[in-house]
Chain A
Amino acid sequence: MSEQMNFLKLSTIPLNTEQSLETDLLEPVVFNDGSATTTGFVRFTLQRKGILHSHSKLLLALKPPTTVSNGFFPPSVGIGAVIESARLMCGNQVINEISSWGNFHSVKSMMISNENNVEREQYTTGRGMSHQFIYTAGDDSQSSNVGFENGREYTGTALSQHPFARMNGVVDASGYLNSSESPTYSIDLSDLFPFLKVHQLPLAQINQDISIELTLTQQEENRACVKNGVDAAKAVYTIDRNELKFCADYIFWGNGDDFQKYMEQNRSQTFSFVDHRLTTTSIASTDTSVIRNIGMANRMVNRIVTTFQNDAGTDVSILNKYGNLAMNKDGNSVVGGIEYNIRYNDRFEYSSNVTNPAQLFTLSQQAEGVPSVVREEYSNEGDLLTTNTYEGSIQNADLGGQFFFVSTRLSAGRVGERGIELHLTLDSQADVTTMRTWSEYLRIGVLEDGIFSFYNA
């Protein structure tokens, strides 16, 4: 075995190295489903063996109440709507923690291509944002509108979810519990903790308990959506305890004692990784000028993501509370303005405030990736979205201006003592309640003789 081989970096492993996988279905060691108005809590503790595969999956399903016959997950986040926050612990130290994870996930989910959503994600994670032209009857070439696409045909002006995705809590005449047929979806471990997209955890080397702690959203209203005009609002969904599992894949490299030798040769390891710090601000549409210090003094901050939400979003809608609000559009389809800048280290990131929404889109694209959202969804500009319905909710009302975010790669190095200031001039939508900013910053992990320690870079 090569002295330089590092089993945590795939590129250093020879192609002929033997690899074996072991999969465990772990039950939670702590489970509290919460209540209608309080959050729940789940903890999984991982076994200390092998290397934890970053694409291990959390499996989840919901049981709808008997009053709901057509429950569905918001297509922008899917099953992620159930997770309020995610925390990865090593002993009693926090490795990685993301607050308002569902909202964060709604931004990250925009980077998945529409084709991938409709062909794969809606079956695996419940996410399914995709688009198609809506043609008028008798015309197969000219269309003025775009609508939601999930692979099914519209019935008139109505699009329904797939039968497999439907959450039906109604007990039929024979006493059969339809809720037992609710779909089970998965969440990728590296979606819960994004630093695992580039790192793997050598569990066998760690002499502390590694646990995944998840805060669940309240049972009422925010876990899933209901069909508009059919089901009662404020539905209470509970976790299907039989389906809640963590599917952990453990990787073992080499044959014989290769892996043991590797661990002995690498008793001390240091790596850097990113964590996300959330700053939440309550705002109203009357707050037209916002200057907010989001902290992060003396940190190495790679980028920040800012979104605006309506936390009072209801389940009688397509996106629940997981929309990201763009600026206000008036009755004449004129979209309100935004001026955006950030200031740190005694300088503004942009020499003049960015007012062009397409430029904000491009900046966000350069920082995060390519969002697969149409123009009216992102900036609210252009009356493109259809008035057709999805599960009874009108699409242009529920999707227009609901996929807006601004992300900036910070270019001036370590943030100084005054932290980062957001400078915004806004013409917000009437129902905006919250501004969230996640700052992605660097941390260092040191693993020495099986004990992890962490500090900020």
Chain B
Amino acid sequence: MTSRTLSIRPDNIPSSGKVSFKNGFPVLSFTIQSQNGMLDPKTIRINGDLKVFRDNIADPNPPGNSGNEPTMDNRLGIYNVFDQVIIRHNKSKQICEHIRNYGRYMTSVLGVGSSKQQLMSPLSESCLIMPNSSAFYETVIKNDKTNPRKASFSAHLSCGFVQSGSLVNLMENSFGGIQCEIHLTPDSNALFGTGGVTTGIGDAHYVLSDLSLTCEVMDIAPEDVAQMSSDTSGEMDFMSITSLYTSINSTNAQLQYSLGLKQLQSVFMNFCPSSHLNTLTQNGMATTYPSNQDKTLGVFNRIQMLRGGVKYPQEFDIVPNNKLDSNTAVVDPQVLRMFMESIVPESIIGKSSMSNMNNNRFYDLSSDAASGKTYLHVPDGGALFGLGCRYSQYNSGQDFSSQQWGLSLDTSLESDNPISVFLYFKSVNKLVWNSAGVQILS
């Protein structure tokens, strides 16, 4: 079977070819048109160049060597600017998959699922990732106005539809084309000042250029066209992410959702002070512990995973090590293991950048580098905290279609400092399609 590599320009770029959230282009859209071919979604890559500027004058200045320069979360690289990823059925424009808060999803996935060497090596070339904030700033963000350097990327899209392993029949009377839509992250959330203030970087923004989507499409042989075009309906299973957001601000936090998901594989969540979102003074992508108003870390004294209000699958309270010894700086190993398992099952996890260097309670939530404890300087890629629970051992999942999913947390959050919680539910979805459109069955 022969194939072709397609290179597709965005549907909606301005004549300059430069896309910037600040300058009015918050959505990036690529359409893989219907054609006589089979798309291999795994080969989809988003390619381009990234540039960051500290102001928004006619000829903007790049970040340099001052005390406060715009930068991004180093573990995410180019994924900092992907806020939402949507895969649409092109004919009907119906959504096949939609992941919100994509950056925060990816930071947990990349941290747990990739080793430090992987983050430092192949992912530095393809996705501009670097597991050290200083090295990231120096090699990706910092630039020279007279002799600008490129920061090229060619990023894969980590989502269920793309990674399903199924080929998509692009013929007009079959599944047809797909549209890949990326909502860009607001500059104020993608960027933050290295000095923790907005001085001099109030109009900091990023610009994407030379954008393209590349993918591989296998040709359909002339003798197979008739048979393949009769393929007018079908279904495909893939592991999808349902993303939800909430906030907690009390010592007794209760999270309850009617998910309607039949095959829930796992859930994981990461935390961020709500005051850190959409501000240039803080890194809104960091996955830290919750914190109190005085920037000290908050802890969990008891964790209960619930189904229908009953403890499940752990029929006991999870009591982290800080309950017995509040001075311990080591993260509770059971909590850590559950979080890792919820992202990559223990049986297949090969490498991880999770370590006691990036998962401890040695840091605080201040952005003051002089304190020596700032969360911005946590080694091995930055803080990598989260909670999680795996529900499936053999990909069969657990049925949460008729019972509520719940989480009960006993926390030490005693001050008024709302903490944002980003939840990601991994479940097996069935995409059913015909000439009229698509439907997702969970």
Q: Which residues of A contact B (CB under 8 A)?
A: 113-115, 130-131, 133, 140-146, 330, 332-335, 349-352, 355-359, 361-362, 365-366, 370-376, 378-379, 381-384, 411-413
Q: Are B139 and A375 in contact (CB under 8 A)?
A: yes
Q: Are B139 and A141 in contact (CB under 8 A)?
A: no
Q: Are A334 and B149 in contact (CB under 8 A)?
A: yes
Q: Are A371 and B139 in contact (CB under 8 A)?
A: no
Q: Are B153 and A144 in contact (CB under 8 A)?
A: no
Q: Is B378 an interface residue (CB 8 A)?
A: yes
* Minimum CB–CB distance for B27 against chain A, Å: 22
**What's the count of A-B pairs with C-beta under 8 Å?**
140
Which residues of chain A are near B216, meaning CB under 8 Å? 411
* Minimum CB–CB distance for B262 against chain A, Å: 34
Of A140, A356, A374, A376, which one neighbours B152 at CB under 8 angstroms?
Answer: A356
Known contacts A131-B120, A366-B43, A384-B138; 11 additional CB pairs below 8 A are A115-B115, A133-B132, A141-B379, A143-B134, A356-B154, A357-B125, A358-B152, A359-B214, A361-B122, A375-B139, A382-B151
The B99-120 residues at the A interface (CB cut-off 8 A) are 115, 117-118, 120
Query: CA A372 – CA B262 in complex, angstroms?
Result: 39
Q: Are B135 and A133 in contact (CB under 8 A)?
A: yes
* Minimum CB–CB distance for A111 against chain B, Å: 10
As a 0/1 sequence over residues 35 to 53 of chain B, the CB contacts with chain A under 8 angstroms (1 = contact) are 0000000010101110000
Which residues of chain A are near B154, meaning CB under 8 Å? 356, 358-359, 361-362
Q: Is B93 an interface residue (CB 8 A)?
A: no
Q: Is B334 an interface residue (CB 8 A)?
A: no
Query: CA A374 – CA B135 in complex, angstroms?
Result: 12
Most buried by B among A115, A143, A332, A375: A375
Q: Is B6 an interface residue (CB 8 A)?
A: yes
Residue of B nearest to A369 (CB): B122
Q: Is B402 an interface residue (CB 8 A)?
A: no
Q: Is B23 an interface residue (CB 8 A)?
A: no
Q: Is B126 an interface residue (CB 8 A)?
A: yes
* Minimum CB–CB distance for A420 against chain B, Å: 15
Q: Are A374 and B148 in contact (CB under 8 A)?
A: no
Q: Is B377 an interface residue (CB 8 A)?
A: yes
Query: CA A39 – CA B122 in complex, angstroms?
Result: 36
Q: Are B122 and A370 in contact (CB under 8 A)?
A: yes
Interface residues of B toward A: which range?
35 or more
* Minimum CB–CB distance for B200 against chain A, Å: 21
Q: Are A350 and B125 in contact (CB under 8 A)?
A: no
Q: Are A411 and B3 in contact (CB under 8 A)?
A: yes
Of A335, A361, A373, which one neighbours B150 at CB under 8 angstroms?
Answer: A335
Q: Are B6 and A358 in contact (CB under 8 A)?
A: no
Of B5, B43, B126, B140, which one neighbours A361 at CB under 8 angstroms?
Answer: B126
Of B43, B45, B152, which one neighbours A379 at CB under 8 angstroms?
Answer: B152
Most buried by A among B2, B138, B150: B150
Q: Given A115-B117, A146-B135, A379-B125, decide whether A411 and B4 contact each other with a Cβ distance below 8 A.
A: yes
Query: CA A383 – CA B135 in complex, angstroms?
Result: 9
Q: Are B138 and A383 in contact (CB under 8 A)?
A: yes
As a 0/1 sequence over residues 374 to 405 of chain B, the CB contacts with chain A under 8 angstroms (1 = contact) are 00011100000000000000000000000000
Q: Is B147 an interface residue (CB 8 A)?
A: yes
Query: CA A378 – CA B128 in complex, angstroms?
Result: 13
Q: Are B115 and A373 in contact (CB under 8 A)?
A: no
Q: Which residues of B contact A (CB under 8 A)?
A: 2-7, 43, 45, 47-49, 115, 117-118, 120-122, 124-126, 128, 130, 132-135, 138-140, 144, 146-154, 156, 210, 212, 214, 216, 351, 377-379
Which residues of chain A are near B130, meaning CB under 8 Å? 384
5 A-B contacts (beta carbon < 8 Å):
A113-B118, A141-B379, A376-B139, A381-B151, A382-B149
Which residues of chain A are near B152, meaning CB under 8 Å? 356-359, 379, 381
Query: CA A359 – CA B126 in complex, angstroms?
Result: 7
Q: Are A332 and B147 in contact (CB under 8 A)?
A: yes
* Minimum CB–CB distance for B63 against chain A, Å: 14
Q: Are A374 and B120 in contact (CB under 8 A)?
A: yes
Q: Are A332 and B125 in contact (CB under 8 A)?
A: no
Which residues of chain B are near A332, meaning CB under 8 Å? 144, 146-147, 149
Of A140, A142, A352, A374, which one neighbours B125 at CB under 8 angstroms?
Answer: A374
Which residues of chain A are near B7, meaning CB under 8 Å? 350-352
Of B117, B140, B149, which one neighbours A130 at CB under 8 angstroms?
Answer: B117
* Minimum CB–CB distance for B358 against chain A, Å: 10
* Minimum CB–CB distance for B409 against chain A, Å: 29
Q: Are A383 and B139 in contact (CB under 8 A)?
A: yes
Q: Are A384 and B149 in contact (CB under 8 A)?
A: no
Q: Are B45 and A384 in contact (CB under 8 A)?
A: no
Of B115, B125, B139, which one neighbours A378 at CB under 8 angstroms?
Answer: B125
Q: Are A358 and B126 in contact (CB under 8 A)?
A: yes
Q: Are B121 and A381 in contact (CB under 8 A)?
A: no
Q: Are B135 and A365 in contact (CB under 8 A)?
A: no
Q: Are B149 and A351 in contact (CB under 8 A)?
A: no
Q: Given A350-B7, A351-B6, decide whether A114 and B132 contact each other with a Cβ distance below 8 A.
A: no
Which residues of chain B are near A371, meaning CB under 8 Å? 121-122
